[in-house]
């Protein structure tokens, strides 16, 4: 955000020099007449778990840079439009982006990253997201696994799970989630992902992630050639609950241990002094009249236990 700031261009600067919008990008002239293309510059506050369209600078009122700590999220009607993409504060040349990715030998047309700024007492601590092939600021950290796309899809679901987040909360001592912290997080190895397990995980990851055309390359790498999936809050909550139950089992937790992670008071009683996801619990009680995540995850666990899904996947 400092050393490379000379690369940044605002929408007004680009428009003043003859560029026009082409989807999320800016171009000038006819194709081939001007090779320069400006691509979005994402900041960490623009993403959240399973959502690369979380923060939109176009919805924020004019303010100073110091006041852009948070930006509004688009409403559901915009997220339901697969052509909609959030607007960043800046754009940079595609040439600069391509050069940086080439240095890292990253060939996918999408990225996997997480937020640096966080806290162990937030709604979630480890906030990871698959995002389009865009430039990223220094608070949106990236990982570039040298493995196939399906295993990266499993890794992504692993990073987004509540069980992994619970472990991450034991590691974060301040407000930063740097690379050295990520290296301490217990992550399931690539050989965990057998065909039956991937058959369970990947369709859910796809539906949660591929909600706009900008992530078509991610979908294609996972073998999906169809259109983006509909943004349905109710269904998304159930898909996430299924994945949370799956990863709790994958880490070897019992049902009571999962209950503890979701809400220690549910296991130890209302006077128990510890807490895990209190902010998430209180938010859902305000929004839904109940701690919805807890109910859905435990229902998913019970269903998968009863119908033999866990056993079929060797868990």
Of 125, 117, 115, whose CA–CA distance to 277 is shortest? 125
Does some domain include residue 208? Answer: no
- At residue 65, the pLDDT reads 53
Cross-strand partners of 51: 48
- Give residue 34's pLDDT: 60
DSSP letter for each residue of 229-244: PP--HHHHHHHHHHHH
Is residue 253 in a domain? no
Lowest mean pLDDT among 117-126, 134-143, 218-227, 286-295: 117-126
Mean pLDDT over each residue of the chain, to the nearest integer = 93
Residue 180 is part of which domain span?
Answer: 5-186
CATH code (residue 54): 3.90.220
In a domain, 159, yes or no: yes
Residue 28 has pLDDT above 90, yes or no: no
Question: Can you give the pLDDT at residue 110?
Answer: 98
In this structure, the strands spanning 135-136 and 37-42 are parallel
Q: What is the pLDDT of residues 246-304, one digit of tens each?
A: 999 999 999 999 999 999 999 999 999 888 999 999 999 999 999 999 999 999 999 99
H helices within the chain, ranges in order?
11-16, 76-79, 94-103, 149-160, 162-171, 179-182, 195-209, 216-221, 233-250, 255-262, 264-268, 278-288, 292-306, 309-312
> CA-based diameter of the chain, in Å?
69
Residue 121 falls within a domain, yes or no? yes
DSSP codes joined into one string, 269-289: -TT----SSHHHHHHHHHHHS
Share of the chain above pLDDT 70, in %: 95
Q: Does the pLDDT of residue 151 top 80, yes or no?
A: yes
Domain-located, residue 29: yes
Tell me how many domains the chain contains.
1
pLDDT at position 30, please? 61
Instruction: Indicate whether 169 belongs to any domain.
Output: yes
Q: Is 194 domain-assigned?
A: no
Q: Give the pLDDT confidence of 193-225 residue by residue, as tens digits.
A: 999 999 999 999 999 999 999 999 999 999 999
**How many Å apart are CA 235 and CA 114, to the nearest integer?**
24
Alpha-carbon distance of 313 to 199, in angstroms, equals 10
Q: Please give the DSSP secondary-structure letter assigned to residue 73.
A: P
14 part of a folded domain: yes
């Amino acid at each position: 955000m400092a050393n490379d700031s000379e690369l940044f261009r605002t929408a007004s600067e680009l428009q003043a020099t003859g560029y026009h919008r082409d989807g999320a990008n800016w171009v000038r002239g006819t194709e081939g007449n001007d090779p320069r293309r400006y691509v979005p510059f994402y900041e960490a506050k623009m993403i959240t778990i399973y959502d690369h369209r979380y923060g939109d600078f176009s919805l924020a009122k004019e303010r100073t840079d110091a006041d852009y700590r948070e930006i509004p999220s688009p409403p559901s009607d915009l997220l339901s439009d697969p052509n909609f993409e959030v607007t960043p504060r800046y754009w940079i040349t595609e040439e600069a982006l391509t050069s940086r990715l080439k240095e890292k030998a990253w060939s996918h047309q999408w990225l996997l990253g997480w937020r640096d700024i966080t806290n162990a007492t937030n709604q979630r601590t480890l906030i990871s997201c698959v995002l389009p092939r865009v430039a990223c600021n220094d608070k949106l950290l990236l990982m570039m696994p040298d493995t196939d796309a399906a295993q990266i899809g499993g890794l992504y679901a692993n990073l987004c799970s509540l069980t992994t987040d619970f472990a991450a909360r034991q590691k974060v001592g301040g407000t930063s989630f740097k690379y050295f912290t990520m290296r301490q997080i217990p992550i399931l190895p690539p050989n965990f992902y057998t065909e039956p397990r991937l058959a369970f995980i990947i369709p859910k990851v796809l539906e949660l992630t591929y909600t706009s055309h900008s992530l078509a390359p991610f979908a294609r790498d996972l073998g999906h050639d169809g259109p983006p999936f509909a943004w349905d809050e109710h269904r998304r909550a159930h898909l996430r609950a299924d994945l949370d139950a799956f990863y709790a089992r994958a880490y070897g937790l019992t049902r009571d241990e999962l209950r503890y992670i979701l809400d220690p008071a549910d296991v130890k009683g209302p006077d128990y002094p510890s807490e895990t996801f209190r902010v998430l619990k209180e938010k859902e009680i305000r929004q839904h009249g109940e701690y919805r995540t807890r109910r859905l995850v435990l229902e998913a666990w019970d269903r998968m236990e009863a119908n033999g899904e866990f056993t079929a996947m060797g868990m």
